[in-house]
Amino acid sequence: MKNLKIKKLLAVAVASILTVGLVACGSSNSDSAKSDTASGSDAASGSYRTLDEIKEDGTINIGVFSDKNPFGYVDENGEYQGYDVYFANRLAKDLGVKVNFVSTEAANRIEYLQTGKVDVILANFTVTEERAQEVDFALPYMNVALGVVSREDNVIKSLDNWNKDDSIIVISGTTAETYLTENYPDIPLQKFDSYATAKEAFQNGTSVAWANDNTEVIAFALQNKGYTVGISELGNKDTIAPAVTKGNDSLREWINSEIETLGQENFFHKDYEETLVDTYGTDYEDSLVVEGGKTE
């Protein structure tokens, strides 16, 4: 009898130990899952440096294009130039820090902000509702619409009744890609990651037209003989603005204040005259430039 009682007590003790162990393991797994979820949430919200952190560091990282003349490009001396770069240099100067330019493509502008690779994007970034869900835009500094450029011997003036054997070049991650996909789903699109590769493909005749911001297709037609802009405005008129990581209010608010202050000295008209007038002349200046963040 004593042996039987001892065996029963041992069985109860072992069962108790196993139960505690299982509960402990369950708690550990639950905590781990919570931690993974939190990490995922942090990654989704993006990482950024506040205005004070940028000042303390002494350098601001600004994403710009390196192959999109006259807005952002690298000249023969290896220096960044262009309309967006001119603005970026002034931002850094007034903030009292050095500027570090980070070359970006259209498709990775949002990614570079969300991963903290750049503090600001100044790369012909058109404001859209979809993008505003992922990044925060400051006040605008330029007007823009979509346009279509084609060869002078085959001018594209409409996208209706499209020949299914013909394609249009777009750059991945641009409003042109989104607009054509949503509104002209039957038109074949040839997609490229960079302005340079899209330009080369278009000049090689791989597509009958190229859709992009009208400022860019107008510049292309003016800089390259044998091309014309058959559609100067496609879709809605939009604006271009600086973008910061979602939630970086201190930096966004400073940029807004800076844009308003610069408007008092007609800074963006000066920027246009320094960087864009050779391409566009003076006819486009007032229609493209936005001063003080105020659109008509």
Chain segment 254-295, per-residue pLDDT in tens:
999 999 999 999 999 999 999 999 999 898 899 999 999 999
- Name which of 10-14, 121-125, 129-133, 208-212 the model is least confident about: 10-14
> In DSSP terms, which residues pair with 243 in a beta bridge?
121, 137
Confidence of residue 236 (pLDDT cuts 50, 70, 90): confident
Q: Does the structure show a pLDDT above 60 at 8?
A: no
pLDDT interval class at 40 (50, 70, 90): very low
Tell me: pLDDT of 21 over 60: no
Res. 31: pLDDT tops 70? no
pLDDT of residue 265: 97
**36-61 mean pLDDT:** 71
Angle, nearest 10°, between helix axes 83-95 and 249-263? 110
Whether the predicted pLDDT of 33 surpasses 50: no
- The mean pLDDT value of the chain amounts to 87
Percent of the chain with pLDDT over 70: 84
Are the CB atoms for 226 and 243 separated by under 8 Å? no
Interval 219-240 mean pLDDT = 93
What dihedral angle (degrees, nearest 10) is formed by the CA atoms of 269, 254, 241, 290? Answer: -30
Residues composing the chain: 296
Residue 93 pLDDT > 60, yes or no? yes
What pLDDT is attached to residue 22? 35
Q: pLDDT band for 46, please (50, 70, 90 cuts).
A: low
By the 8 A CB rule, do 134 and 110 touch?
Answer: yes
d(CA 167, CA 144): 23
